[in-house]
């Protein structure tokens, strides 16, 4: 725990003093998105060609992220606001050839403070194919970090981005594009900014992986 708190402090200091030029609307707008979904607790920029999210953004309230911990998880459900031919279902991921999980962009552990907020993140529009061990072992560290920062700062805005490359890799059963990478940007109005980048690669290093291994210059994501 002491080592985790030390890392948090180091990353917070490293990110302080940088004037963030990013805003949610820089990513989630009519120019970038085929459809914008307002889920109440977060926003989705949906890409019809990918059959998945391009960006997912939200602001975490530090007083809420650790206020509840609902154990029972909802079922994944298709988002009926999306035209049917671009919509995805939970079964689209079953036994897929990429060994990919149903990976949350807005993570359940950041929204498990009420039944309504938790259910919202089980929309399939919030889900992308994430290689199972990256989802469970490495990306989860960035998700935990966002909750720690929200608690420490009082609030933090998070933008999650998905890199689809040339869209050629797809789940055979459903045609969902398999991302080559994804990233997470954290910032607040007082100049804190920190970004993490993950390759969605089955050959990626898992054992010994550290959160700091994924830190990137946020300007590279703008």
What pLDDT, in 10s, does the model give residues 53-76? 999 999 999 999 988 788 899 999
Adjacency order of strands within the sheet including 215-216: 35-38, 43-47, 52-61, 155-163, 181-187, 193-199, 215-216
Q: How far is CA 58 from the centre of its chain?
A: 10
pLDDT tens digits, 206-215: 999 999 999 9
CA–CA dist 58, 73 (Å, integer): 20
CA–CA dist 164, 47 (Å, integer): 10
**pLDDT above 80: residue 90:** yes
- Give me the active site residues, please: 104
> What is the number of residues in the chain?
222
**pTM, 2 dp:** 0.90
What kind of architecture, by CATH, is found in domain 2-221?
A: 3-Layer(aba) Sandwich (3.40)
Is 190 flagged in the annotation as binding? no
CA–CA dist 194, 12 (Å, integer): 8
CA–CA dist 192, 170 (Å, integer): 36
H or E element in which residue 194 lies: strand 193-199
């Amino acid at each position: 725990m002491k080592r985790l708190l030390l890392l948090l402090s180091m990353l917070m200091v490293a990110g302080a003093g940088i004037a963030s030029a990013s805003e949610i609307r820089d990513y989630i707008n009519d120019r970038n998105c085929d459809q914008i979904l307002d889920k109440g607790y977060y926003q989705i920029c949906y890409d019809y060609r990918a059959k998945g999210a391009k960006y997912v953004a939200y602001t975490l309230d530090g007083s809420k992220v650790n206020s509840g911990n609902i154990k029972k998880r909802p079922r994944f459900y298709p988002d009926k606001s999306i035209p049917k031919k671009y919509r995805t279902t939970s079964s689209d991921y079953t036994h897929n050839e990429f060994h990919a999980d149903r990976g949350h962009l807005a993570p359940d552990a950041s929204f498990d403070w009420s039944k309504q907020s938790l259910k919202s993140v089980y929309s399939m529009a919030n889900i992308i194919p994430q290689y199972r061990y990256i989802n469970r072992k490495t990306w989860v560290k960035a998700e935990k970090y966002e909750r720690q920062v929200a608690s420490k700062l009082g609030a933090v805005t998070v933008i999650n981005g998905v890199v689809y490359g040339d869209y050629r890799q797809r789940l055979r059963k459903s045609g969902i594009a398999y991302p080559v990478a994804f990233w997470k940007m954290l910032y607040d109005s007082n100049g804190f900014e920190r970004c993490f980048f993950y390759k969605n690669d089955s050959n990626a290093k898992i054992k010994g992986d550290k959160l700091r291994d994924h830190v990137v210059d946020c300007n590279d994501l703008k």
